[in-house]
């Protein structure tokens, strides 16, 4: 990263890191989650000694927000970033931010995920910013993500507050050529915390006084948006009757669709979506006969704009969401085209049959990687369970245990919820209840459920799926690197805590049986390093030779236990029943070998 201005094609997530450096951001914190983890990858690509700010992965989004806040009230411009549902975890803290005098300024980058591409829901966090009285900047492209981060930082510093940079999946992941600014020498770390900069204790009447301050800062936000020209009108001058109000990526979808039309409605693009600038909206509404509001997910803009029109006696016809489908999924150009065609058939023609546009691509379900320790764990644990046992999943790579052939994990909620749900299910229940939990999730939100089970003596067997990393989101570090989960659980007074490598499948089956027989909370730590991370590291070493598994075709009786019970994607079952190994996938770990009753699965000749 040079000091001079330059141009480069970068992802939105990467461009934000340059903006952090250019604005003199001093402290950055996060808990990983799509669509934002590449922000951390870009940060980590700067060697620590050259990085002009402090960065940490905190144990969860709430703690990450608190660390960034602490640094910001000490006078340092700070940033916290996480995914959509991360805001749920952080909310108890984040909802207080607008009440505080954050002297250094704080930027909260949240990646929403319309389409639930990599999330357990597609919640629209714009609902929350209104309640939390937070100013929200919404870029439409990677270039704008870079520019709007700088706006958010400037505003947060100026008003001594927190501001949100709202991203969505494709703004994070798209790539665009961006012109970057010059770097000034990084500011020094500040230690300016002083209670007189507060009040910082929001209790009783102070909370109300502080709320009045939050309302004032939102008014300043509207002025800031005007000075920066964040809410802009794109006018073709040909069609003054029709207008569109939109924001974020949907704006680009609208441009895409309207590229082919003869006339183009005027477009009001909102770059600041909370608070809304009533003045520009009233002007726009009053000067058009019909206005279509195009927004992904909920009808947040629509409800506010309709109420604004009502209060101001504006008769413009305002069209928002019409059917349930309008609330679901991404506003891709296809979907936007359909919506525009349904609203203004004379302007945009109805798209040809959908089927024509689809490629016939076979579905490719998510699955665990070859050699994944979780697969060995599920294979072994299944042998210890009976059909009546209830299995409760948690979020992580191990969630995939719900799929065939393992079929373990019949209910899933959110990170860390498995032990609590299992406790509830175990009450007055003759069925045994087994919960699963990943190691990163253990520290993130898993511990309170475990402590609750100890405290209230719930009869649950918990299996901690320990792989030494936060695998699902791209191998980020977690607290398990320096804190022993086994020691921690023993310290909580849990009597039955055992650890087993998941490749020792017979032993793991035995330990799960023993733990199920134990009354109260019992824990099995099913441990094996993430093999994707491990093999990647191995391949970087010189002289590394890839091992493979081979099948002795003379011994193989074609029972297919390897395919049907172990289910590693490296096995290929041919039409004639013969099983082969896909050498591009197989990592030669051998964890599949115990699955063959005939012992026909061995290592390839080279390794014997
Ligand atoms: C509140 C929240 N934050 C972040 C995520 C993204 N996420 C999904 S699973 C996961 C953690 C996975 O790590 P771990 O528990 O160790 O299981 P593994 O994938 O390694 O098996 C994360 C961070 C999420 N779903 N919810």
Mean pLDDT of 365-384: 96
Q: Which DSSP letter does residue 470 get? A: B
Q: Is 397 in the pocket of ligand 1 (CB under 6 A)?
A: yes
* Range from 167-176, 305-314, 354-363, 561-570 carrying the lowest mean pLDDT: 354-363
For residue 505, what pLDDT is reported? 97
Contacts of 108 by beta carbon, 8 Å cutoff, 6+ apart: 65, 79, 80, 81, 94, 97, 134, 162, 163, 164, 165
Mean pLDDT of 93-113: 98
Q: Is 36 in the pocket of ligand 1 (CB under 6 A)?
A: no
For residue 358, what pLDDT is reported? 63
- pTM, two decimal places: 0.95
The candidate with the shortest Cα–Cα distance to 40, out of 89, 93, 81, 85, is: 81
Judged against a pLDDT cut of 90, whether residue 424 lies above it is answered with yes
CA distances from 450 to 63, 350, 435, 482 (A): 19, 55, 11, 20
What is d(CA 233, CA 277) in angstroms, rounded to the nearest whole number? Answer: 13
For residue 3, what pLDDT is reported? 79
For residue 133, what pLDDT is reported? 98
Domains located in the chain, CATH noted: 6-228 (3.40.50.970), 232-343 (3.40.50.920), 373-535 (3.40.50.970), 545-603 (3.30.70.20)
Check if the beta carbon of residue 65 is closer than 8 Å to that of residue 107.
no
Structure confidence by residue, pLDDT tens digits, 437-479: 999 999 999 999 999 999 999 999 999 999 999 999 999 999 9
For ligand 1, atom 10: residue with the closest CA = 396
User: Which phi and psi angles does 137 have, rounded to 5°?
Assistant: -100, 130
Q: Is 368 in the pocket of ligand 1 (CB under 6 A)?
A: no
Judged against a pLDDT cut of 50, whether residue 136 lies above it is answered with yes
Q: Work out which ligand 1 atom sits closest to the CA atom of 440.
A: 16
Q: Work out which ligand 1 atom sits closest to the CA atom of 530.
A: 20
Tokens of 255: 């441009």
The kind and range of the H/E element at 127 are helix 126-132
For residue 355, what pLDDT is reported? 57
357: confidence class by pLDDT, cuts 50, 70, 90: low
Q: Is 471 in the pocket of ligand 1 (CB under 6 A)?
A: yes
Mutation test of ligand 1: which of 33, 59, 116, 372 has the most ligand atoms closer than 8 Å to its C-beta? Answer: 33
Judged against a pLDDT cut of 60, whether residue 335 lies above it is answered with yes
Mutation test of ligand 1: which of 109, 409, 470, 533 has the most ligand atoms closer than 8 Å to its C-beta? Answer: 470
What is d(CA 504, CA 178) in angstroms, rounded to the nearest whole number? Answer: 51
Distance 399 CA to ligand 1 centre (A): 10
Strand partners, 110: 82, 166
Q: Work out which ligand 1 atom sits closest to the CA atom of 478.
A: 16
Q: Is 86 in the pocket of ligand 1 (CB under 6 A)?
A: yes
Judged against a pLDDT cut of 50, whether residue 8 lies above it is answered with yes
Distance 446 CA to ligand 1 centre (A): 11
For residue 608, what pLDDT is reported? 39
Query: pLDDT higher for 326 or 604?
Result: 326
Mean pLDDT of 51-61: 97
For residue 353, what pLDDT is reported? 66
Check if the beta carbon of residue 569 is closer than 8 Å to that of residue 521.
no
What is d(CA 130, CA 136) in angstroms, rounded to the nearest whole number? Answer: 9
Judged against a pLDDT cut of 70, whether residue 5 lies above it is answered with yes
For residue 607, what pLDDT is reported? 44
For residue 258, what pLDDT is reported? 93
Rounded to 10 degrees, the C-alpha dihedral 593/606/529/413 comes to -50
* Range from 155-164, 198-207, 299-308 carrying the lowest mean pLDDT: 198-207
The candidate with the shortest Cα–Cα distance to 30, out of 136, 132, 127, 111, is: 111
Mean pLDDT of 270-297: 97
Mean pLDDT of 50-69: 97
What integer best gives the mean pLDDT of the chain? Answer: 95
* Range from 124-133, 148-157, 253-262 carrying the lowest mean pLDDT: 253-262
Distance 392 CA to ligand 1 centre (A): 16
Mean pLDDT of 511-532: 98
Q: Is 441 in the pocket of ligand 1 (CB under 6 A)?
A: yes
């Amino acid at each position: 990263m040079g000091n001079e201005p330059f141009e480069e094609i970068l992802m939105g997530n990467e461009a934000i890191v340059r903006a952090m450096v250019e604005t003199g951001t001093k402290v950055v914190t996060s808990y990983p989650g799509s669509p934002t983890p590449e922000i951390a990858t870009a940060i980590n690509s700067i060697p620590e000694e050259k990085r002009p700010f402090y960065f940490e992965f905190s144990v969860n989004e709430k703690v990450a927000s608190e660390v960034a806040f602490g640094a910001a009230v000490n006078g340092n411009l700070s940033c916290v970033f996480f995914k959509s549902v991360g805001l749920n975890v952080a909310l108890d803290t984040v909802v207080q931010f607008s009440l505080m005098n954050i002297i250094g300024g704080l930027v909260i980058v949240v990646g929403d995920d319309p389409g639930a591409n990599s999330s357990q829901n597609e919640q629209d966090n714009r609902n929350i910013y209104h309640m939390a009285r937070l100013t929200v900047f919404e870029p439409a492209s990677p270039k704008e993500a870079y520019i709007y981060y700088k706006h958010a930082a400037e505003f947060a510093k100026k008003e001594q507050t927190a501001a949100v940079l709202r991203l969505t999946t494709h703004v994070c992941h798209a790539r665009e050529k961006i012109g970057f600014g010059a770097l000034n020498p990084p500011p020094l770390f500040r230690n300016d915390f002083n209670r007189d900069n507060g009040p910082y204790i929001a209790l009783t009447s102070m909370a109300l006084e502080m709320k009045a301050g939050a309302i004032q800062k939102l008014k300043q936000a509207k002025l800031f948006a005007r000075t920066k020209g964040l809410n802009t009108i794109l006018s073709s001058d040909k069609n003054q009757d029709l207008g569109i109000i939109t924001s974020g990526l949907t704006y680009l979808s609208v441009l895409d669709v309207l590229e082919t039309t003869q006339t183009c409605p005027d477009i009001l693009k909102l770059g600041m979506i909370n608070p809304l600038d009533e003045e520009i909206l009233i002007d726009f509404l009053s000067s058009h006969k019909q206005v279509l509001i195009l927004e992904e997910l909920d009808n947040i803009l629509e409800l506010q704009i309709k109420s604004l029109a009502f209060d101001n006696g504006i008769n413009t016809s305002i069209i928002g969401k019409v059917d349930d489908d309008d609330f679901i999924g991404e506003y891709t150009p296809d979907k936007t085209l359909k919506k525009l065609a349904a609203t203004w058939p004379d302007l945009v023609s109805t798209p040809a049959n959908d089927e024509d546009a689809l490629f016939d691509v076979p579905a490719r379900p998510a699955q665990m990687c070859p050699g994944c320790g979780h697969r060995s764990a599920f294979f072994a644990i299944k042998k210890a369970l009976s059909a009546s046992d209830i299995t409760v999943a948690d979020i992580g790579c191990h969630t995939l245990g719900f799929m065939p052939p393992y079929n373990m994990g019949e209910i899933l909620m959110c990170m860390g919820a498995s032990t609590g749900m299992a406790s509830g299910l175990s009450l007055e229940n003759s069925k045994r209840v087994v919960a699963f939990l990943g190691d990163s999730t253990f520290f993130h939100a898993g511990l309170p459920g475990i402590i609750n089970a100890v405290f209230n003596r719930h009869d649950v067997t918990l299996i901690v799926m320990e792989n030494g990393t936060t695998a699902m989101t791209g191998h980020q570090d977690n607290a398990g690197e320096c804190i022993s989960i086994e020691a921690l659980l023993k310290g909580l007074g849990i009597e039955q805590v055992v650890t087993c490598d998941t490749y020792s499948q017979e032993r793991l089956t035995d330990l799960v049986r023993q733990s199920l027989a134990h009354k109260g909370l019992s824990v099995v730590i099913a441990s094996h390093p993430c093999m994707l991370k491990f093999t990647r590291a191995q391949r970087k070493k010189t002289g590394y030779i890839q091992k493979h598994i081979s099948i002795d075709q003379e011994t193989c009786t074609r029972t297919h236990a390897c395919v049907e019970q172990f289910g590693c994607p490296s096995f290929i079952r041919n039409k004639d029943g013969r099983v082969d190994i896909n050498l591009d996938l197989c990592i030669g770990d051998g964890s599949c070998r115990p699955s063959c009753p005939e012992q026909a699965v061995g290592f390839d000749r080279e390794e014997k």
